[in-house]
Chain A
Amino acid sequence: MATSLDEPAAPARVDPAARPRRVRRSRAARPWLLLAGPLLVIAGLLLYPIVRVTVLSFQRYGLKEVISGKPEFIGLDNYREALSGDYLWKTVLPNTVVFAAVAVAGTVVLGTLVALLLQHLGPRLRALVIGSALVAWALPAVTGTYVWVWIFDPDSGIVRRTLIALGMLDPEGFNWFTDRLSFYAIAVLNVIHHGYPFIAITIFAGLSTVPEELHEAAKLDGANAWRRFWSITVPLMRPVFAVVTILSTIWDFKVFAQIYLMPGGDGSNPDVFNLGVWSYVSSINQNKYGLGSAIAVLLTLVLLVITMIYVRALFREDELQ
């Protein structure tokens, strides 16, 4: 790597044409050498699983096949099993899609509001809010989820006790975790709480690129804050909002720990599975590795399609500029 060190330091200007061709060619190849490590690691460790999981999804692969090592090719049977019947369409897919839509919207809206607030704060308060945001972001999903579960615990959680004390809930109480809607309401709270600090910080960083003069000019023209937000901030920040939305969408579709660690999410209540948890439970709990793989492939495809749509929208924007 230190080849240029051997070069004499004397000549102030070197005529590029005077360099031998051999050096030039090795110059062109050198960046690829630097890239080789990561490209190989990622190709090996991320592309291999994609291929393998796709192959698995076309096989009957259970405990017997793990031991014998001779899986049977069964074509689309796993996909047929996953796609047929009501379970995917009425339970798992709505759980995944509606949850993600609500969580992404909540995360981005709250994140934007906090970012706008951050803009108006002095340095000390700003440090306080950003520091707290980073604590919320760094908190492991495992711990965060447990806290929400304890808060909503059907026997002794704070929420139940408070509601009973206020007379808003019967003393028999209500198990929020068995009902699909309230289960996901709690999951949404958890995921938004975990996700919007990061979004707020990102949008706040983006806001500093919007020229102050534009806002001041619009203010002189009598535009109120609402108007200015929609006609100045949003158009200029569109790429930032796009990235933030893509990232949140990917995360919220892939959400696993936050569902799996809630009561019933570990396999005992199929009503609350999303695609990720269903895939995990099918393969790890029930040893139907083929079916689990087919579900995982479906989840990947859904993610791919969504991201393609986003990226298309984003990059058309960039080319216009």
Chain B
Amino acid sequence: MTTTLARPAATDLEIRHAKQPRSGVLLTGAAWIIAVLFVLPVLWMILTSFHTEQDAAANPPKLAAPLSLEGYRSFFDSGPWPPLANSLTASVVSTLLVLLLALPAAYALSIKPVKKWSDVMFFFLSTKFLPVVAGLLPVYLFAQKVNLLDNIWLLIILYTSMNLPIAVWMLRSFLSEVPTEMLEAAQVDGAGLVRTLREIVAPVVAPGIAAAALICFIFSWNELLFARVLTGTRAETAPVFLTGFVTSQGLFLAKVCAASLVVSLPVLAAGFAAQDKLVQGLSMGAVR
């Protein structure tokens, strides 16, 4: 971006910025359409969940029908708290375990990389080929043998190992942003490992840790296949509970929309609230 070289470009840039208000209407329109298309299923769920069953099934759909909490009431009466708590436990604990394992590994792969670090990265990535369906039976048979079926800890272990590769991959991207000169300077000054980590590494990596944690949380919360096969009544997670609820109540749209919304709410909130971190994390994990 040297000013002397890019002078014509700079003026052109100014022109483009000046023009923006006119073409802006079109862009604004397109942006709103895309945004609404993205969240359309969620909007539809919100709307339907607050209607009475009669209004939800009305033809044509009544957008302005009076609001009702009927759907939510009957969903919360059906005992969703244990599954929701199970999902929360599995997601939070597995996320913490992932971070605990992934951070040292990412450190070893970036700041002081081991010689074959790219091979190690490939090993981590290669685990993504394995379809969950292929792991399902072995895990099921193993869990049956060691009596871990319908146990939330089995899911915690599985989610940890499923999310570990992507977390290592992402955290490595963030850690390699830490300027090596600063690390060397700290070493020269005699700062210990703990101090170096706290004062130089942590500020750069904190957003990365937040992003990795969020992504692991979202993946664990949404997982269906393992949870469905490996849990019963005790360790059932929210998505499994939801599939059961929808199968039995499928005709009652307001009720099932309320249920779907409640089950999705934690991840939707996480996604919306932390968008900057997620964008950074997602692109770091995938691009580099």
Binding site for B on A (CB under 8 A): 1-5, 7-13, 30-32, 34-35, 37-39, 41-42, 44-46, 48-50, 52-53, 56, 66, 114, 117, 120-122, 125-144, 146-148, 150-151, 156, 158, 161, 165, 193, 197-198, 201-202, 204-206, 212-213, 216-217, 219-220, 239-240, 243-244, 247, 250, 253-254, 256-257, 261, 276, 279-280, 283-284, 289, 292-293, 296-297, 299-300, 303-304, 307
| A135-B42, A292-B137 as given contacts; A140 in contact with B221, CB under 8 Å | yes
- Residue in A12, A42, A296 whose CB lies within 8 Å of B137: A296
Asked if A216 contacts B8 (CB within 8 A), the reply is yes
Asked if A279 contacts B133 (CB within 8 A), the reply is yes
A50 contacts which chain B residues (CB < 8 A)?
130, 134-135
CB distance from A315 to the nearest CB of B (A): 10
| Across the A-B interface, the 5 shortest Cβ-Cβ residue pairs | A205-B283, A138-B271, A52-B138, A9-B190, A216-B9
| A139-B267, A296-B131, A303-B129 as given contacts; A256 in contact with B225, CB under 8 Å | yes
Asked if A147 contacts B134 (CB within 8 A), the reply is no
Asked if A49 contacts B286 (CB within 8 A), the reply is no
Residue B164 interfacial (CB < 8 Å): yes
| A139-B267, A161-B60, A216-B13 as given contacts; A147 in contact with B41, CB under 8 Å | yes
B interface size (C-beta, 8 A): 100
The B contact surface, by secondary structure, is: helix
Asked if B128 contacts A250 (CB within 8 A), the reply is yes
Binding site for A on B (CB under 8 A): 5-6, 8-9, 12-13, 20, 24, 27-28, 30-32, 34-39, 41-42, 44-45, 57, 59-61, 101-102, 104-105, 107-109, 112-114, 120, 123-124, 127-139, 141-142, 144, 157-158, 160-161, 164-165, 168, 188-195, 218, 221-222, 224-225, 229, 239, 242-243, 246, 253, 256, 260-261, 263-264, 267-268, 270-272, 275, 278-280, 282-283, 286-287
Asked if A156 contacts B278 (CB within 8 A), the reply is no
Asked if B108 contacts A202 (CB within 8 A), the reply is no
| A10-B190, A139-B268, A202-B282 as given contacts; A46 in contact with B35, CB under 8 Å | no
Asked if B27 contacts A120 (CB within 8 A), the reply is yes
A147 contacts which chain B residues (CB < 8 A)?
41, 44-45, 260
Q: List 23 A-B contacts (CB under 8 A).
A: A5-B192, A10-B190, A31-B107, A31-B109, A31-B112, A38-B164, A46-B130, A66-B141, A117-B27, A125-B27, A131-B275, A134-B275, A135-B272, A136-B38, A147-B45, A151-B44, A156-B57, A161-B59, A202-B286, A205-B282, A239-B287, A293-B137, A299-B131
The A contact surface, by secondary structure, is: helix
A158 contacts which chain B residues (CB < 8 A)?
61
- Residue in B42, B128, B138, B242 whose CB lies within 8 Å of A48: B138
| A49-B139, A141-B224, A220-B12 as given contacts; A300 in contact with B41, CB under 8 Å | no
Q: How many angstroms from the CA of A241 to the CA of B158 in the assembled complex?
A: 30
Asked if A140 contacts B193 (CB within 8 A), the reply is no
Across the two chains, which residue of chain A brings its CB closest to B31?
Answer: A125
- Residue in B135, B243, B261 whose CB lies within 8 Å of A142: B243
Across the two chains, which residue of chain A brings its CB closest to B239?
Answer: A142
A253 contacts which chain B residues (CB < 8 A)?
131
Q: How many angstroms from the CA of A240 to the CA of B139 in the assembled complex?
A: 34
| A216-B9, A220-B12, A299-B133 as given contacts; A53 in contact with B287, CB under 8 Å | no
Asked if B253 contacts A150 (CB within 8 A), the reply is yes
CB distance from B268 to the nearest CB of A (A): 5
- Residue in B124, B134, B164, B263 whose CB lies within 8 Å of A49: B134
Q: How many angstroms from the CA of A243 to the CA of B123 in the assembled complex?
A: 16
Q: How many angstroms from the CA of A117 to the CA of B221 in the assembled complex?
A: 31
A250 contacts which chain B residues (CB < 8 A)?
128-129
- Residue in B13, B105, B112 whose CB lies within 8 Å of A212: B13
B188 contacts which chain A residues (CB < 8 A)?
12-13
Asked if A46 contacts B242 (CB within 8 A), the reply is no
| A48-B138, A289-B137 as given contacts; A4 in contact with B193, CB under 8 Å | yes
- Residue in A34, A46, A132, A137 whose CB lies within 8 Å of B127: A46
Asked if B41 contacts A114 (CB within 8 A), the reply is no
Q: How many angstroms from the CA of A7 to the CA of B188 in the assembled complex?
A: 12
CB distance from A50 to the nearest CB of B (A): 6
